[in-house]
Structure 1
């Protein structure tokens, strides 16, 4: 035997030879032998939410601490980079689960949406996702299409052709829908929960996973998408399912819920001033719940949430949206006491590649790690991106002429294109009671110049509205509407004059004092009443306070609609030739 092998052999055997006499003596005197100590078993949970089919980098950034008391914009997202981040986190743990808290699909990027989000499911299969809770947008195309995403097949339930690029086998991960019940059968649409075991022998532990949507799904999607379904109370559902899982042997209980909140500040791992609909749910949860992975609000936070009457705190997480972040969670489970004895979580920013926004260049930063794209995922996504290129040339309608916006120093002015988009958004959300629609010129990325025959392609529309934003309709008083318009023309944020839909007009004067620059507002020819209530549609970026429009944020009666690009296409194609609005709905007075 070679010398190095002998040395290795000796290093393994000699320690046992050295303790052999003591063991023999113990057996000779028949002394009791204590049980071998078994330490906690660590389970890694890789969590995310609201991916929304963002296969390519979404050209957005995460605001995060720069280590010097300020913040830095970190460009993030893209499925290939997301895959690398997930793998890096999972490599830390012998045992792990990868989970999502809903809205994985729908309101997606073009390369995913055109193919009914089959490529997003394909990406998640390749990533090895274990569970996804159904969110509200999972129902955008109806129950039958959602079931197809789970089960596979090429049955056609929408205007788009399934299996257009390749056969579709469905999701290898499991959808969970504990609170979504088929009224006819009394059964949940998907399983309510699942129990997963890790380890062997006395070190074996189990994790129960519950997944559910928010109970307000019917008010967030079209009625046809949820016909015959009931959405039960979140807390009652979770608590009942928790008791079942604990009775079945669960050592830890993890809840994936498509409901969330919002924290203040620019720290992805902060929880300062947590607000939102998730709080009353947390306050009533069974104390045996160990972790809540949330979503829906597109916010990022990590909270040790104090639940009334509970010993210790409850761990609550959310990873923002669009695959820009992923949460690294560790649960330490004591297999003897059958409970979680320690846990921690951290949001990881999926830094990818820089991009150019309406406000300028956003470059990668050395403050946070930059991930490299996973080659296999990049190649898979590339097939769909290439295939979608043909759809870009599809003619969707005709315009009466160019739809332009202000350029250079007049970029604040949405002009005819802003009016056209606002009209489209209003038409799409009339069903939600919309009376007025407003859109931000800084979100309009390109003018539309139709062909010589007036033809406009889907690519033309998408170039002007490329962000995949959703429409949100909410109620504001006339006074709140004025105060919010003022936020776009103050001296503290970007100068942005919101473009209105037909029937609403306003005038402003920047030479006046802040807060008093809107000098007139009219709706249907009459002055806006400060005390009256108006249903107003904006996109979800503005609804979350984007570009400084905080007056739109936090409205309790907000109703989510479809994607802005879908509304735009429907409006342009609804008549033989859509006239580009020429009237000036916003007038600027004075000089500043």
Structure 2
């Protein structure tokens, strides 16, 4: 699989805005009740006096989630927990996620709701654990079919294996190289993938359907799906070959008009782009008085410019949780939601449909995020699905590849897991060329940490191939290239400048490379050039250094254009093999490897 950037890259040509707390004039559900003739309370809707026909107002349930990334089994470590703010202001963490539990929660939520839609905002697949990634994410598509997903936008990860593979996931068929994994031919997705802003460069037409209309009786709601315009910057060139990615706002506004011309007035945008709430708690109320900064990031700019014809925005990509209102171009509040990632949350939104106008009563929209707790019964059909695919993956996935003495987390500006991968790539590179000086790893290519606690069938501290695959699922190669000292310095400055100015991407350094990152400064100056050392010696701008990176970075990915200018290229094995070799060579049951200290970058704040 091709490489990917972090799940929250910056957007170009847009500045990030801060959304202040609750927008003035938001009508409450009580205000709606007063405004709707004959309505006693929210949810009590009436038709003609004394009549028995359909009521004028119909509540439609919209269940949504995003960024599942093939996490069928409960994610581990911090990836499998959410933070909940308590009534007294304290917080607690809750174990969350797992498709067996998500199915139970969604099925329970749908009970009593005849008008219910399930939608998603992209990255259903890609960067997936072994149980799904080993089989080109067919297991996840099968699970989403069983889950009752109706529609999703594409995300950047849907392009990890290219347009042809995405089309196969939608339409079905055996993999062109690996063939069929089971006796039954893969049937593809029962749900619709929407890609309104992804065009075939030659034909200038959308790769997949741009929109879809859900209908039940006389109620109809249109969905427009887009991914972030910057997808080519965070997916390998092969993954987006022959495709053009257009502006999200312009695309949504275009197809909103198309839907309106077809008589569809109720519209929801599924957008694989997101924001950054002021709190990490999933139930943080960013509209509450005194809530602080609310939400920032690319979605704010998008939401403020998407036509008022769109009634709600379901978003993703940043892996954050929020339920916020952001003013539309007319200044009226509009609901914008995101349900974290990895199946840990789902969003339940009530859309009140007005049969007389065919539109959503925006002032009545209510929404909340809910935890996919693991205290409910597992869905038996999902358990059977996981058992089936695990049996196929077990001969590969259960093989031990190393031993650790404690959790190796993937958290922080410089993460212990990122450092370990950089060390592994440097060690491997030296077997190809002993003159290799250092290695750099992009943070978005590190998808998880390693957990010490045992799973079924393994002991504490054992690292299996499946766990390693979860950490590095992209099958990038380890590439060697020559860079001058000046180029190396410039590459480090690109972490916090250019397209990475607003959302820095801090490269994970191998042992021996040290420098200071000063957050009190701005732009490229945040990298203190004079502090950069390699094995204690200053970087010589005129000298040549042999540098190891993955193939994604070597191609200039993630805004590191200077890394794409290296010379004397040498392509090695895939990055997971390099990690496996390092763990095997440097750990054993009696001498496990310890987490790196993550002290190579000195942070000034």
Shorter-chain TM-score bucket reads: 0.5 to 0.7
The equivalent of 2:440 in structure 1 is 436
1:130-529 counterparts in 2 under 5 A?
Answer: 130-157=150-177, 160-164=178-182, 166-199=184-217, 204-269=218-283, 270-271=285-286, 272-310=293-331, 312-341=332-361, 342-352=364-374, 370-392=375-397, 420-421=423-424, 423=426, 436-437=440-441, 443-445=449-451, 460-463=464-467, 466-467=470-471, 477=493, 500-501=509-510, 504-505=513-514, 521-523=532-534, 526-527=537-538
Q: Match of 2:277, SS?
A: coil
- Would the alpha carbon gap of residues 42 and 586 (structure 1) be closer, same or farther in structure 2, given more than 3 Å must change? closer
Q: Match of 1:371, SS?
A: coil
Matched, 1:568 2:582: no
- Would the alpha carbon gap of residues 463 and 52 (structure 1) be closer, same or farther in structure 2, given more than 3 Å must change? closer
1:8-87 counterparts in 2 under 5 A?
Answer: 38-59=55-76, 60-87=80-107
- Would the alpha carbon gap of residues 184 and 499 (structure 1) be closer, same or farther in structure 2, given more than 3 Å must change? closer
Q: Match of 1:347, SS?
A: strand
Q: Match of 2:365, SS?
A: strand
- Quote the Cα distance in structure 2 between the aligned partners of 1:145 and 1:465: 20
Cα RMSD of the aligned pairs, angstroms, is: 4.6
Q: Match of 1:333, SS?
A: strand
Alignment TM-score, normalising by the size of structure 1 = 0.66
- Quote the Cα distance in structure 2 between the aligned partners of 1:378 and 1:90: 20
- Quote the Cα distance in structure 2 between the aligned partners of 1:478 and 1:239: 34
Choose 1 or 2 for highest CA Rg.
1
Q: Deviation of residue 302 (structure 1)?
A: 0.3
Q: Deviation of residue 308 (structure 1)?
A: 4.2
Q: CA deviation digits over 1:121-145, x for unaligned, max 9? A: 0111111111111110001011111
Alignment TM-score, normalising by the size of structure 2 = 0.65
Give 5+ residue unaligned stretches, structure 1: 1-31, 353-369, 397-402, 428-433, 448-457, 482-497, 508-518, 530-534, 539-555, 560-565
Q: Deviation of residue 75 (structure 1)?
A: 0.3
CA contact (8 A) 1:235 1:284 kept: yes
Q: CA deviation digits over 1:498-550, x for unaligned, max 9? A: 9731661479xxxxxxxxxxx97513764379xxxxx9999xxxxxxxxxxxx
- Quote the Cα distance in structure 2 between the aligned partners of 1:470 and 1:62: 26
- Would the alpha carbon gap of residues 194 and 72 (structure 1) be closer, same or farther in structure 2, given more than 3 Å must change? same
Residues matched between the structures, number: 456
- Quote the Cα distance in structure 1 between the aligned partners of 2:416 and 2:579: 21
- Would the alpha carbon gap of residues 479 and 82 (structure 1) be closer, same or farther in structure 2, given more than 3 Å must change? closer
- Quote the Cα distance in structure 1 between the aligned partners of 2:512 and 2:169: 42
Give 5+ residue unaligned stretches, structure 2: 1-48, 287-292, 409-414, 431-437, 454-461, 477-489, 498-506, 517-529, 541-546, 551-557, 562-572, 588-592, 601-605
